[in-house]
Chain A
Amino acid sequence: MTKLNDKCCQACWHDWDHPCPDLIECMSAGPICHDSEPCRAKRQAAIAKLRREVISDPVIFVGTGTCGLAAGAGKTLATTKQWLEEKGITAEVVEVGCIGLCAVEPILDIQMPGKARVSFQEVSADSVGDLLESVMVNAQLPSEKVLGQHRPADGSALEPWQGAAWLDEHPFFAPQTRWVLANCGIIDPTHIEEYIARGGYAAIAKTIRSSTSAELCDEIETSGLRGRGGGGFVTGRKWKFALNTPAEQKYLICNADEGDPGAFMDRAVIEGDPHRLLEGMAIAAYGIGASKAYVYIRAEYPLAIKRLHEAIAQAHQYGLLGHNILDSGFNLEILVKMGAGAFVCGEETALINSIEGKRGMPRPRPPFPAVSGLFGKPTIINNVETLANLPGIALNGAEWFSSVGTAGSKGTKVFALSGKINLTGLVEVAMGTKLRQIIEDIGGGIPNGRKFKAVQVGGPSGGCVPTEHLDIEIDYESLKTIGAMMGSGGLVVMDDQTCMVDVAKFFMNFVQRESCGKCIPCREGTRRMLEILQAITRGRGRETGSDALDRFKGVMYLQRLAEVIRDTSLCGLGQTAPNPVLSTLRWFRDEYEAHIYERRCPAGVCTELLTYRIDPEKCRGCTLCAKKCPSGAILGAPKSPHYIIPDKCIGCGTCLEVCRFDAVIKE
């Protein structure tokens, strides 16, 4: 028996032409169809091997998700293989997804036979040789490289390393509740059996055997699972609309068009644990009665697309997708559609148009896609994280899921922690966790001793949360009360060197570019808002009287304009487009006022508002700055102190860069 689905003995009657309904149980706890101790032992041994509880050769795991590769994991991997070859050591090298702690990548794990698996941080190609030498040859753990050792499962014979901290006690991991990310960075994503060995596909097997579609919808609704893509609609209730609409064909679409800049959990799940998504999709498709499903995924995620294709092919091979899944009469085909780069395609109707080969523009609702969607048929669109939550609920029940979370928001949420924070990465916490805990404990606070200013939640549709509201317990409702929203879960941390007006301008620029142009409030309104923000942050050197008048008119209208866009846009993109401005105006009005009245940027980001002057004491009159100044704003005779004409200065900062005597002062 080399593969899990091989026959254990002649009594076994699994056959791919006649699928066995007990296949999954049989593979993990079997055999079911006949009682034989040797067969059981054989199967248990195979599972233990796949879970790497028993290994004969050392195993080296390299985190090669997109983020790992960006940090240099590809070179680390190549050097590792070369090192093994040179030393003549036999070891298995496994490429895994991202465990979530992007800040210290490349991450490499080593598991020696009989010993617990240990994770090491910042293993670059230069240092990997020394690390392997020390661990594999000398059996010593270099303490500065150790991230932590993985706690062996109960009853496992793996012996822990002396003196090495546990990974689950690491401040980054300890407060987390990892359900969706449980396998990410742990298992080999290209190997379906590793997922099965860890309880994978047991949920779909149980569901199609023991529940009807309606019962499944009820169960999911009772669990309180809400859409993780942003809207937060109750998933089970949405399914029921599709289930109760009679049609000969229904569709399920997985929205993996993770367009929110600042969010990357969907990519990580697909790269690190693609079968969890497929299993979730199978459960959802069963729930609504769909036999065809699409994954709409961003073309910018080439690795995730590759993993997805591999996983679909394997699931077909094991009879877990395709025709007559586990002899239940349930069929499911999953197709991958690549997005073509349009943020608005995160909106359901726009996404449907895009799959149909049209411009990705939203259309008015109702009819809702659940009633009339793709090709006019009932269609349910769920986000990757929502679908990845389903196997857990289907297997352990609604109560298990709803035992975690707050009154209105159940379960966990994955957040992508990035920006000015020490430990960036993916964090999965229970709903109701305090923002402060995520930033200060898990994220390790702000680097370089700077001061926390705000955290941007939910991407371009969300808002900024200032210091005074950090103690808020995160759920869908609480974030709305302070003008932010859950969105897809991007958390971008900002310190005192981030200008909030600049951030608002950044988002308006983004939304304005991504507006599909169908409805006027969004198309024109966002552009006007951007222009107003640009006027606020522009230097006044060459401003005419009418420019100044426009600027002040703009400031007066900004809030009203924002409200009109919010109230009259067609789709969610437009309705939430003004949020970054409204929320920064609400919490950081003083910064706007400093830009408008005092013509200065407190954070020193808006270059055109900075003023430069030359300290006559320090200036030697070398004339370098005057020569380099692009606007000819610097005057002065050689060998005597120079002077910057404020009206001519465009604030580019070139003089500051070129001055060798630190005579230029930025204010």
Chain B
Amino acid sequence: MKPLKALIISNATVGSNKLFQSNEHVSYDIYKVTENFDPDLDGYDLLILPNGATDSVAMAKIKHKVRAFLDEGNALFCFSGWFTNWVPGNRWIMDNSLKTSEVRYFKKYDRYDLLKDVDIDGLIFSHGISGWWACGYIETAPGAEVILEDTLQRPVVIIDEKTTRGTIIVSASGPVAEVTYGTTNHSPSMQAISALYRNFIAFVQHKKQTSYEKENRIDL
């Protein structure tokens, strides 16, 4: 399959350039936010906003561009809390009402098998400590599908293929990446995070390929 072309938008936080390395499935470019923030999204299949390195002030300025990018059939991953409403249809809300010791995650709905080989306990516990992964919860758009929910049955990982013509996959600020940096060195947690990320990439890559083949099919 053709590798995805992904653009990472980063606020230049230390370590954010270490989370993603180009490979046979995806090729990454990094765009760092500056005063003149206006990224060209043309030619990319996937937009990635990494955990801890997402600038929600900057992203609010290009929310219409993000929407147009998605309506062209492309994909968005956001793994950091977004306090401005630049993610179409879905709102992230910070919340501290659930004690970290009481945080658990549960599979809700997973028709695309995005949790395949993901040990959910790795997301719940790092070195036996729970509540280290996601923060707050997501108020979902109508038609968005909840993949993981927390103890209070609030969405923490969702996929939305209805709000736009593209694919939105977001977490409630739970880090998802090829590798972890600084967040944890707990092996089950690192495996869960990278397995989840690989599944997201494989899903988008397959969907893009299918769409490409459909568009280019010659009817006999």
Partners in one complex: no
Listed in ascending order, the chain B residues whose CB lies under 8 Å from chain A are: none
